[in-house]
């Protein structure tokens, strides 16, 4: 029988994680799991994670007062100054209200993050769903959503929500697997070596997908070669009988793949790819039409989101559908239903026939290049392009050059005005000027409010406005303010 909340016991969790039951009964049943002390429900299990800026152990007592039926804690914490508290629980000596329910089950481990992953790995193997793991330097979220849309025709799907793609988020997603789920589509992110290997160990994908290798998280990986090595961990750790879906147009990725013996299915624009696109017809801001080819057969495909990078994401999703034996006619329907994601090259139509392209969710050099190439081809005839960019983060020693290149991309796209914000705004300005953009059309702004004011002062009917920056830059506030003011 598949593992189920409201049935799973402390004893089963101890077996799955290698935990010792320090307090409580092995037959204690949990209603769910949380790593956030602010979202505790009656009967749940609290996992006390420790990070750079937080320690969940500080909130164990609070979660038990709120109604948690147990917690996973480190051995060091259990034996620390908190030992008196735990002895009081065992002896029933705590004042009324200190524990909401009966004595909780306290599970002791060496590493709570490791325990969370081990529990998720056990939970995944206790369910029958086919699992897809998707990684890449850019496009992960869009490819995940497209894949879920493709597989969702006729199947119950579990998929990564938001940015739950790391060593905390992916296990929490997997712990949402239920008996009705037939497919799970998981996004796999990383910032340093070893993370993709651990995520692969936890998720145990039936199909692994690597979208591309590009400049992202350079701070922790130092070079493109380092990024390729980190992405290749998925190929190295995946089960031999599983299948890898790879971008056959990415030379560095395919070089790594050729050194690792795995069953593969390639996608891309090149003729040598197993899954490829032909007869591509751009529909401007409304997306694209193309034929998806596999072997000697082809199927008409329609995509509502523009850009060649999104056609690549769609091909990856199609390759997953083929790998899992889905009928192409069904997943063509799934592609046509995908309407895009907020903050991911989202098209917003404003008054005055103005188009706002909101790509503010995140940025790295690879995704910026793809987006700028696309937006440069999408402008309606006679319209102007206004660009607002924020810093691209976590690029380490590559940051200065990458931001100068960003400014050059803006000029090459034909922008009429360019507003740069962040620590590397000066480098972006320098790149645009060096590429030939007139000085009066490039401006450094200090914050999102100033960027929004400047863009609104310059924009005219039929303009296209493009916004992009790393998540922590918060450029969605620029998008929201422009939209708000445009409706007044």
Domain housing 97: 10-115
With respect to residue 264, please indicate whether it lies within any of the assigned structural domains. yes
Q: What is the pLDDT of residue 220?
A: 57
Which of 55, 83, 115 is the C-terminal boundary of a domain? 115
281: confidence class by pLDDT, cuts 50, 70, 90: very high
* CATH number (domain holding residue 153): 3.40.1190.10
- Specify whether 253 is located in the same domain as 363: no
The CATH code of the domain that includes 91 is: 3.40.1390.10
158, 181 in Cβ contact below 8 A? Answer: yes
- Are 194 and 173 part of one and the same domain? yes
Q: Are residues 85 and 231 in the same domain?
A: no
pLDDT bin (cut points 50, 70, 90) of residue 227 is confident
pLDDT of residue 216: 64
- Tell me: pLDDT of 336 over 60: yes
Instruction: Kindly state the average pLDDT of the residues 400-418.
Output: 96
Strands (E), 67-189: 70-74, 105-109, 130-135, 157-159, 183-187
Q: Do the domain assignments include residue 121?
A: no
- From the centroid of its chain, how far is CA 108? 31
In a domain, 1, yes or no: no
Residue 325 shares a structural domain with residue 466: no
Residue 488 is predicted with a pLDDT of 54
Which of 375-407 are b and which e, b meaning 16 or more Cβ less than 10 Å from the residue's Cβ? Answer: bbebbeeebbbbbbbbbbbbbeebbeebbbbbb
Smallest Cα–Cα separation from 212: which of 249, 157, 160, 170?
249
Are 262 and 319 found together in one domain?
yes
CATH of residue 422: 3.90.190.20
Q: Are residues 289 and 185 in the same domain?
A: yes
Distance linking the first and last C-alpha atoms of the chain: 57
Q: For position 218, what pLDDT does the model report? A: 57
The span from the CA of 259 to the CA of 261, in Å, is 7
Last residue of a domain, one of 337, 358, 381: 337
Q: pLDDT tens digits, residue range 101-119?
A: 778 999 999 999 999 999 9
The three-class DSSP label of residue 354 is strand
Domain contains 55: yes
Query: Is 470 in the same domain as 413?
Result: yes
Altogether, the residues listed in the chain come to a count of: 488
Q: What is the pLDDT of residues 298-329, one digit of tens each?
A: 999 999 999 999 999 999 999 999 999 999 99
CA dist., res. 164 & res. 346, Å (int)? 21
* 161 lies in the same domain as 306: yes
Residue 265 has pLDDT above 90, yes or no: yes
Residue 135: C-alpha distances to residues 180, 245, 301 (Å):
25, 11, 24
User: For residue 239, what pLDDT band results from cuts at 50, 70 and 90?
Assistant: very high
Number of domains in the chain: 3
**Edge-to-edge strand order for the sheet containing 442-445?**
346-350, 354-359, 464-468, 385-390, 417-421, 442-445
DSSP track, 230-276: HHHHHHHHS-TTSEEEEETT-HHHHHHHHTS--EEEEEESSTTSSEE
Tokens, residue 186: 């998981």
Regarding whether 190 and 52 lie in a shared domain, the answer is no
Per-residue pLDDT tens over the stretch 12-68:
999 999 999 999 999 999 999 999 999 999 999 999 999 888 899 999 999 999 999
Instruction: Among 337, 367, 396, identify where a domain stops.
Output: 337
Residue 446: what are its φ and ψ, rounded to 5°?
-90, -30
Does residue 389 share a domain with residue 313?
Answer: no
C-alpha closest to that of 8 among 23, 26, 20, 22: 26
What pLDDT score does 112 carry?
Answer: 98
Task: Pick the range with the lowest mean pLDDT from 76-85, 134-143, 184-193, 431-440.
Answer: 76-85
* Tokens coding 56: 């969940």
Buried b (16+ CB within 10 A) or exposed e, 184-197: bbbbbbbeeeebbb
Clarify whether residues 242 and 176 are in a common domain: yes
In a domain? residue 391: yes
Question: How high is the pLDDT of residue 184?
Answer: 98
**120 is a domain residue:** no
Residue 108 within a domain = yes
- Whole-number pLDDT of residue 332: 94
What's the Cα-to-Cα distance from 140 to each of 1, 36, 258, 332, rounded to whole Å? 33, 25, 23, 20
Looking at residue 217, what is its pLDDT? 56
**pLDDT at 124 exceeding the cut of 70:** yes
Same domain, 365 and 467: yes
Residue ranges with strand state E in 57-102: 70-74
Distance CA 56, CA 36 (A): 8
52 lies in some domain: yes
Residue 53's Cβ-count burial label (10 Å; 0-12, 13-18, 19+) is exposed
Phi, psi of 307 (to 5 degrees): 105, 140
């Amino acid at each position: 029988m598949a593992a189920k909340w409201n049935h799973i016991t402390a004893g089963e969790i101890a077996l799955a994680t290698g935990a010792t039951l320090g307090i409580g009964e092995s037959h204690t049943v949990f209603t769910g799991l949380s790593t956030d002390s602010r979202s505790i429900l009656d009967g749940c299990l609290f996992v006390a994670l420790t990070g750079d800026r937080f320690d969940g152990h500080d909130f164990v007592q609070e979660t038990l007062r709120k109604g948690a039926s147990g917690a996973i804690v480190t051995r060091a914490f259990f034996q620390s100054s908190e030992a008196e508290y735990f002895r009081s629980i065992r002896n029933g000596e705590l004042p009324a209200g200190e524990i909401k329910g009966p004595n909780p089950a306290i599970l002791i481990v060496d590493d709570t993050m490791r325990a969370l992953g081990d529990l998720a790995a056990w939970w995944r193997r206790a369910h029958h769903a086919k699992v897809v793991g998707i990684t890449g330097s850019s496009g992960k979220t869009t490819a995940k959503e497209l894949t879920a849309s493709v597989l969702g025709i006729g199947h119950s799907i579990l998929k990564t929500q938001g940015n739950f793609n790391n060593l905390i988020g992916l296990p929490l997603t997997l712990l949402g697997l239920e008996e009705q789920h037939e497919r799970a589509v998981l996004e796999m992110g990383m910032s340093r070596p070893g993370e993709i290997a651990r995520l692969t160990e936890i998720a145990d994908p039936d199909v692994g997908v690597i979208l591309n290798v590009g400049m992202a998280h350079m701070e922790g990986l130092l070079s493109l070669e380092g990024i390729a090595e980190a992405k290749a961990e998925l190929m190295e750790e995946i089960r031999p009988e599983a299948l890898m879906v790879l971008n056959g147009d990415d030379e560095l990725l395919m070089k790594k793949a050729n050194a690792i013996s795995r069953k593969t299915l390639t996608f891309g624009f090149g003729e040598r790819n197993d899954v490829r696109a032909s007869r591509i017809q751009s529909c401007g801001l409304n997306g694209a039409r193309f034929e998806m080819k596999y072997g000697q057969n082809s199927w008409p495909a329609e995509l509502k989101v523009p850009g060649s990078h999104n056609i690549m994401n769609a091909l990856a999703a199609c390759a997953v559908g083929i790998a899992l034996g889905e009928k192409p006619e069904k997943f063509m329907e799934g592609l046509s239903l995908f309407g895009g994601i907020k903050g991911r090259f989202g098209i917003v139509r404003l008054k005055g026939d103005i188009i706002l392209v909101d790509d503010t969710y995140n940025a790295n050099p690879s995704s910026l290049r793809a987006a700028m190439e696309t937006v440069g081809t999408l402008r309606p005839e006679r319209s102007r392009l206004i660009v607002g960019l924020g810093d691209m983060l976590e690029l380490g020693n590559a940051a200065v050059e990458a931001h100068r290149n960003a400014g050059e991309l803006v000029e090459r796209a034909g922008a009429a005005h360019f507003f740069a914000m962040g620590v590397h705004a000066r480098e972006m300005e320098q790149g645009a000027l060096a590429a030939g953009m007139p000085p009066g059309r490039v401006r450094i702004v200090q914050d999102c409010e100033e960027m929004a004011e400047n863009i609104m002062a310059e924009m005219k009917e039929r303009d296209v406005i493009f916004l992009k920056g790393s998540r922590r830059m918060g450029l969605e506030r620029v998008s929201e303010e422009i939209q708000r003011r445009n409706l007044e």
